[in-house]
């Protein structure tokens, strides 16, 4: 497309400015999107969730609890979807650390895990988790949960 424009006599500087404007608008649109942090050591789970959410949200990724805590502090996501069983630092501990810190305690954390036992759900809640989704999950349930926390943390008219 751009090569054809140059062949048709459009100045290269004009095309560069057009591309820069498009990139700037795309960047501004990303900044306007609410941020969701997906934390899972399984890349395919992160990719699945990211593909479901990236149209409407800016999606951040972490592969373990340590990385999640760092991203939570530096990026201040609007929601965290976190697995429990991960290397380096598990989701329970990461959730507890995120909820314990003044700078990140208001960020909703939803556990997204293959562990469906009631005791695990209760433990997650006691450590500060705001929600719990069991894998395999229904994509619509995931989207509904994300939308719920968007409305809870940013009510209409705010």
* pLDDT over 90 percentage in the chain: 68
Q: How far out from the chain centre does Cα 94 lie?
A: 15
pLDDT tens column, 63-77: 999 999 999 999 999
If you ran DSSP here, which 8-state letter would residue 40 be given? Answer: -
Query: How much is the mean pLDDT over the chain?
Result: 85
Can you give the pTM of this predicted structure? 0.78
Residue 153 has pLDDT above 70, yes or no: no
pLDDT for res 25: 55
Residue 25, judged by CB atoms within 10 A of its CB (0-12, 13-18, 19+), counts as: exposed
Could you tell me if 35 and 75 are in contact, meaning their C-beta atoms sit under 8 angstroms apart?
Answer: yes
pLDDT of residue 50: 97
Please state which of the ranges 17-26, 36-45, 78-87, 118-127 shows the lowest mean pLDDT.
17-26
Report the distance separating Cα 114 and Cα 99, nearest Å.
Answer: 22
Distance CA 84, CA 113 (A): 6
Q: Is the pLDDT of residue 17 over 70?
A: no
Domain ranges of the chain: 1-32, 34-153
pLDDT tens sequence across 29-65: 555 799 999 999 999 999 999 999 999 999 999 999 9
Predicted confidence at residue 45, as pLDDT, reads: 94
CATH class, range 34-153: alpha beta
Provide the pLDDT for residue 79: 97
């Amino acid at each position: 497309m751009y090569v054809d424009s140059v062949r048709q006599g459009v100045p290269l500087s004009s095309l560069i400015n057009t591309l820069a404007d498009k990139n700037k608008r795309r960047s501004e649109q990303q900044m306007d999107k609410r941020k969701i942090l997906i934390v899972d050591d399984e890349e395919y789970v992160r990719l699945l969730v990211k593909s479901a959410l990236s149209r409407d949200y800016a999606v951040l990724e972490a592969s373990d609890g340590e990385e999640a805590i760092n991203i939570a502090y530096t990026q201040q996501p609007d929601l965290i979807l976190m697995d429990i069983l991960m290397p380096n630092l598990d989701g329970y501990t990461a959730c507890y650390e995120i909820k314990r810190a003044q700078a990140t305690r208001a960020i909703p954390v939803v556990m997204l895990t293959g562990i469906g036992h009631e005791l695990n759900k209760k433990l997650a809640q006691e450590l500060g988790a705001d929600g719990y989704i069991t894998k395999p999950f229904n994509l619509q349930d995931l989207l509904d949960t994300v939308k719920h926390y968007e409305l809870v943390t940013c009510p209409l008219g705010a």
